[in-house]
Amino acid sequence: MLYDYLTTNEEGRLVIGGVDVKDLAEEYGTPLYVLSEDRIRENCRKYTAAMAKYFPEGSFPLYAGKALCFKGIYPVIDDEGMGADVVSPGEIFTALAAGFPAEKLFFHGTNKTDSEIEYALDCGIGCFVIDNMNELAALDKAAGEKGMKQKALLRLTVGIDPHTFKAVQTGMIDSQFGIPIQTGQAEGFLKAALDAENIEVAGFHSHIGSQIMDSYQFCDQADILLEFAADMKEKYGYTAEYFNIGGGFGVRYTEKDPTVDIEGNISDIAEHLAAGCEKAGLPVPKVLMEPGRSIVADAGVTIYEAGGIKTVEGYREYVTIDGGMTDNPRFALYGSEYTVLNASRADAPADFECTVAGRCCESGDRIAEDIMIARPERGDLIAVLGTGAYNYAMSMNYNRVPRPAMVMLSGGKARLVVRRQTFEDLISCEL
Ligand code: LLP
């Protein structure tokens, strides 16, 4: 199986973290998001341990909640000693409602409105990641009015193509995220930030992209940040305490994806950074990372029930499921590949070629095309693996499909962490 917490039982069914899918489906219904808490914790530990081992003291990972944000994740993240990256007041609210400490939150976003800035300041947010000059001025003013000095990082773009698909490249020069170094604008950004009385500039942030499998893109990023940092030290005497190098490590969605060696990559980056700092005559900064996908993606499995199974003669076989783009829009948006299996017949040969389609009135509503699974019958459970990241977070109510429930598995036991939306929920904001 793609992930080691997946097995099959004597009845030939898929077992997730020690729990039979049939029991999960019977107790909680389908579609159902299933999340292995044990796997999330393992993933967190890869970062906390490697960052503590290879980076200077005070370096730590922040969980990028955009990958999967719901109250139940934050106690786990907190317990694992991580901070969190929040990208909206909605994420701040969720984290705080779960008891996550505000001082461990880093507030991102390309357009923080005045009221959002005020909200975050009132919450006592640990650190802002300032995206642009207007935001810098607005934050300086708002913090000044409250008699506060706000800690912040400056979001810079380093102009790297991380060789990943275009929709998730956020570090390129022509980008709406942050201020570019190559155009010379980052210098003015830093200068203005240093002049801002109510802002304490803690360092630089840059995020180069997502689903990255190697360390070399991060080493390139470190080189560009270091060159800029050395220049700024010389010109303004400013030394960055932190480099936040963003998120982006990839995960295995299918057998053909490599396994990303988190510890090995972190060790490479640390070595490269330390050598670069020595050359530039700079102290090695504390490092922050913002993993999202690599914390939660491979901890998630979605369980659906197969409905219509039809042959379009001369073309293909379709298996329709009781969810689809409404709970996982990633195939519709990016053509993302997943491992799909017939969870009711997990040990039967995968000899049936089919396209798995969702339930929406939308021809793009598919989860996978032309894949091999064991031939299903109506009522069989279909499992899609690797759905922990950017699924629930990007889910929607198109066609008035209620969002699924989510259960978290720990030590072979399931607990409900998000209840299924009801029809009443669907109309709850409508007057
Ligand atoms: N930090 C920043 C500033 C980011 O923009 C992102 C992701 C992350 C951290 C986390 O990156 P990760 O470790 O998850 O790769 N919806 C797309 C992914 C968009 C990622 C956007 N930014 C998808 O479903 O693949």
- Domain CATH number, residue 421: 2.40.37.10
The span from the CA of 305 to the CA of 377, in Å, is 10
Do 279 and 343 share a structural domain? no
Domain that holds residue 212: 108-291
Of 69, 123, 354, 361, which one is the catalytic site residue?
361
What's the number of domains the chain is made of? 2
Q: Quick one: which atom of ligand 1 is closest to the CA of 393?
A: 16
Q: If you measure from the C-alpha of residue 169 to the centroid of ligand 1, how many angstroms do you get, rounded to a whole number? A: 9
The string over 332-341, giving b where at least 16 C-beta atoms fall within 10 Å of a residue's C-beta and e elsewhere, is beeebbbbbb
Give residue 6's pLDDT: 98
Do 238 and 140 share a structural domain? yes
Residue with tokens 């982006």: 248
Q: If you measure from the C-alpha of residue 204 to the centroid of ligand 1, how many angstroms do you get, rounded to a whole number? A: 18
Of residues 1 and 171, more confidently modeled: 1
* pLDDT one-digit tens code per residue, 62-121: 999 999 999 999 999 999 999 999 999 999 999 999 999 999 999 999 999 999 999 999
Residue 187 inside a domain? The answer is yes
Q: Inform me whether the pLDDT recorded for 236 exceeds 90.
A: yes
Confidence class for position 172, pLDDT limits 50, 70, 90: confident
Of residues 243 and 164, more confidently modeled: 243
Find the residues whose C-beta lies inside 6 A of ligand 1: 64, 66-67, 85, 108, 168, 170, 207, 210, 246-248, 290-294, 330, 390
Q: 223, 257, 291: which is the final residue of a domain?
A: 291
The span from the CA of 277 to the CA of 282, in Å, is 5
Do 369 and 316 share a structural domain? yes
Tell me: cis bond preceding 31? Omega within 30 of 0 counts: yes
Q: Quick one: which atom of ligand 1 is closest to the CA of 67?
A: 14
Do 337 and 225 share a structural domain? no
The span from the CA of 326 to the CA of 394, in Å, is 8
Confidence class for position 340, pLDDT limits 50, 70, 90: very high
Residue 97 inside a domain? The answer is no
Residue 55 inside a domain? The answer is no
Give residue 170's pLDDT: 61
- Establish whether 277 is a catalytic residue: no
Taking Cα atoms as reference points, which of 225, 75, 264 lies closest to residue 84? 75
Do 260 and 308 share a structural domain? no
Do 418 and 303 share a structural domain? yes
Q: 273, 291, 309: which is the final residue of a domain?
A: 291
Give residue 224's pLDDT: 95
Single-letter code of the amino acid located at 360: C
Residue 370 inside a domain? The answer is yes
**Tokens at residue 31, please?**
């579609």
Q: Inform me whether the pLDDT recorded for 171 exceeds 70.
A: no
* pLDDT one-digit tens code per residue, 392-408: 999 999 999 999 999 99
Residue range 204-228: mean pLDDT, rounded: 95
Single-letter code of the amino acid located at 288: L
% of the chain at pLDDT higher than 70: 98
CATH of the domain at 245: 3.20.20.10
% of the chain at pLDDT higher than 90: 96
Q: Inform me whether the pLDDT recorded for 167 exceeds 80.
A: no
Beta strands in 125-198 (DSSP E): 127-130, 150-157, 179-180
Do 318 and 235 share a structural domain? no
Q: If you measure from the C-alpha of residue 389 to the centroid of ligand 1, how many angstroms do you get, rounded to a whole number? A: 9
Taking Cα atoms as reference points, which of 8, 3, 15 lies closest to residue 412? 15
Do 346 and 234 share a structural domain? no
Q: If you measure from the C-alpha of residue 290 to the centroid of ligand 1, how many angstroms do you get, rounded to a whole number? A: 9
β-bridge mates for residue 158, sequence order: none
Q: 291, 309, 325: which is the final residue of a domain?
A: 291
Summary mean pLDDT of the chain: 96
Do 214 and 194 share a structural domain? yes
Confidence class for position 41, pLDDT limits 50, 70, 90: very high
β-bridge mates for residue 241, sequence order: none
Task: Quote the crossing angle between the two packed helices 185-195 and 216-236, to the nearest 10°.
Answer: 60
